[in-house]
Structure formats: structure tokens, C-alpha cells
Amino acid sequence: MPKRLEQQAPVIEVHDLTKVFGRFTAVDHISFSIRRGEIFGFLGPNGAGKSTTIRMLCGLLSSSSGSANVGGFDINRQPEQVRQSIGYMSQKFSLYKDLTVEENIAFFGGVYGLAGKRLAERASAVMAMAGLSGSESQLTGTLSGALQQRLALGCAILHEPPILFLDEPTSGVDPISRRMFWDLIQEMASTGVTILITTHFMDEAEFCGRIGFISGGRLVALDTPRALKHQSVDEDLFELTLPSFRGALEKLSGLDGLRASSYFGSRLHLFCRRGTFTVGSLKHTVQERGLDVQRAELIPVSLEDAFVRLVQKQAAEKNG
């Protein structure tokens, strides 16, 4: 096959994948595909079904229905081959804290069938990548969060898997280390490693080539970060800083031109019909309704806004 076509062929293909726990559907008919070397991000609130999907794709959890092919293997019929051809970093790094760095590497190397010279070579490559050379005999639990994170990544790639599943790998890690971690990920992707990653840091999601938004077990949108923002929000977006949120939404309800609102950290985001307000006129209108406004700004749409708006729109459609 010509090289370009080969690079475009999907490495992960998912069809109607579903997981039911008792009477609860955690993952609901999800379908998507990921190309070689792509960084694909899963975004969605807690409980949306991200980890459950990943665990099925890793061959660690059986599916209830649907199918998926990961690196040429069927997750339902060949889970063992799937496990051998992927790297997985679970949500709570699965390192043994009471083992040394070296012992963790030896343990995970063993899981992936590495031994002798190859294990030694891979161990030293991974230690260098993680910035852990010289810390071989340190107890893992005494490493900083950022070093544990990089060791966990190192353990997941000891066997040089062509596919990597990273489940919230940057939780609890400081911003600079998060940035370094992303540099590593992007470098791996540039060598052709296919990466599926979940995060709830919206700034990180911008580094993904494509993003799947998951809500209530369903894949509600899938596209590039730029296209998602474009498609989900077709309003002017204003950010208000208020001394108190008390009664804010009630006071604004029915405001002509206001299509939706959401809290964004300690601020209020208002999605207004294009061209209805300027910053000045909105501030004035809101004040007239009895709200004290410290600051009003017209701001660019973030992925979080896109997600919120999309979920609101879909809920509105559902409720007629």
C-alpha cells in the first residue's frame, strides 16, 4: 500500500460499542475511527463513559454489544492480542508505590513479555524519557506527582506499542509538567503512535487533532477543536463578572436576544443572538434588571463553551 494511504487507514475502528451495567447504560452505541498518528481526545463530564469506553478498547472489559477493531484485532474475539499491542495508562496511575522505580519497570516489562537485554534497553530509554535516570532505586511513592506520571507513561510504552490509551494522565499534575507531558505525547504521535486520551483540562484538548464530546454515554459530537467551536456556538459570547450570582439567571430570564447562559468558574457566560448587544448595551441592560456588573467582555468561544452549548441544544431538541 502506498505510504500515504497506509497512514490514513484507521487504526482504531469502533461500531455501536455499548456497555450496560445492570439496568444502566454507561456507553451507548458509540462509533468512531482514529487514524495512525492521530491524537484523539475524549472530552466530557465525570460519569460520561470515557473510562468505560477505554477499558473496552483495551481488551480489559467486555462489551455488551457492538464491535471494535484495535490495531487489527477484534476487542471481543481477540482481547489478549489487543492488550499486547496497546499501552494503557489508567486513570489512577497503576504504579506500585511501595516498589522502587526499577522494580515497577521490571514488573510492567514482565507483563508485556520483555526480559534480558531488551528489557534493560527499554528500561534505560524509558528512564531517560521520564527524567528518572539516577532514581532507579527510589521508592515510587516518594516521587513527585509529575515524575510518577512520567514513570506511568514510561511503563505503558515499555513494549513500544503503536497505540496508546491515556485516561486523564494529567490529573493532579502541575501546569509546567502537564505541558512537558504534552510535548512527549506530540513527539510520539509524530512518529506514528496513535493516541486516545481523555482529559478535563479544556486547554489541553486544544492539542488534540480531533475531539469526541461524550455526554451520558453518547458521542454527541466529533470534529477538530476549531470546527466544534464553530458548529456549536453561533452566538456572540459575553462574559460577565458579578459580585454575586444570587438570582442572576432569574433576573435575566426572558431577555430578548439571550439564547443561553452558563456558569463558567466564577463568571457568567451569556450566549446572545449575533449583533443584538455590544458590551456596553449588554452591561446597561443587565444592570437595568437589577444586577450589579463588575465587568463585561465579548470573548472567544472555548471548547468548554462549545460543549455546554451543544449539550443544551441537544437537551432542548429532545424536550421538543
Ligand X SMILES: Nc1ncnc2c1ncn2[C@@H]1O[C@H](COP(=O)(O)OP(=O)(O)O)[C@@H](O)[C@H]1O
Q: Does 52 bind Mg ion (CB under 5 A)?
A: no
In the bound state with Mg ion, the residue whose beta carbon lies nearer, of 48 and 248, is: 48
CB of 167 to Mg ion, least distance (A): 6
CB-wise, 48 or 240, nearer to ligand X? 48
Q: How far is the CB of 45 from Mg ion (least distance, A)?
A: 10
Residues 6+ apart with CB under 8 A from 65: 16, 17, 18
Q: How far is the CB of 14 from Mg ion (least distance, A)?
A: 17
By CB under 5 A, is residue 285 in contact with Mg ion?
no
- For residue 26, give every residue at least 6 positions away whose Cβ sits within 8 Å of its Cβ, in sequence order, or none: 19, 20, 49, 52, 217
Residue 48 touches which of ligand X, Mg ion, none (Cβ within 5-8 Å per kind): ligand X
268: partner contacted, choices Mg ion, ligand X, none (Cβ within 5-8 A by kind): none
As given in the structure block, the three cell numbers for residue 152 are: 506511568
C-alpha cell at 99: 516498589
| Kind and range of the H or E run holding 318 | helix 303-318
Q: What is the DSSP letter of 100?
A: B
Helix count and strand count (H, E) for the chain: 12, 14
Q: Which does 229 bind (CB under 5 to 8 A by kind): ligand X, Mg ion, none?
A: none
The radius of gyration computed from the CA coordinates of the chain, to the nearest angstrom, equals 23
Q: Does 51 bind Mg ion (CB under 5 A)?
A: yes
Comparison of 91 and 100: residue with beta carbon closer to Mg ion: 91
Task: Answer yes or no whether residue 90 interacts with Mg ion by CB under 5 A.
Answer: no
As given in the structure block, the three cell numbers for residue 144 are: 513527585
Residue 169 makes CB contacts below 8 A (sequence gap 6+) with: 89, 93, 149, 152, 153, 181, 197, 199
Least CB distance from residue 210 to Mg ion, whole Å? 19
CA dist 36 and 111 (Å) reads 25
Q: How far is the CB of 320 from Mg ion (least distance, A)?
A: 32
Whose Cβ is closer to Mg ion: residue 50's or residue 259's?
Answer: 50
Say which residues have a Cβ less than 8 Å from residue 274's Cβ, sequence separation at least 6. Answer: 234, 235, 236
Task: Please say which residue, 25 or 100, places its beta carbon nearer to ligand X.
Answer: 25
Which of the 8 DSSP states describes residue 139?
A: B
44: its cell numbers: 466530557
| Residue 140 within binding range of Mg ion, rule CB under 5 A | no
Q: In whole angstroms, how close is the CB of 199 to Mg ion at the nearest point?
A: 10
> By C-beta, is 154 or 217 nearer to ligand X?
217
Count of chain residues binding Mg ion (CB under 5 A): 2
CB 18 to ligand X: min, Å: 12
C-alpha torsion angle, residues 298, 299, 303, 309 (rounded to 10): -10
Q: Does 170 bind Mg ion (CB under 5 A)?
A: no
Query: 12 vs 26, which CB is nearer to ligand X?
Result: 26
Instruction: Find which of Mg ion, ligand X, none residue 46 binds, CB within 5 to 8 Å per kind.
Output: ligand X
Residues that bind ligand X (CB under 6 A): 21, 24, 26, 44, 46-52
Which residues of the chain form contacts with Mg ion (CB under 5 A)? 50-51
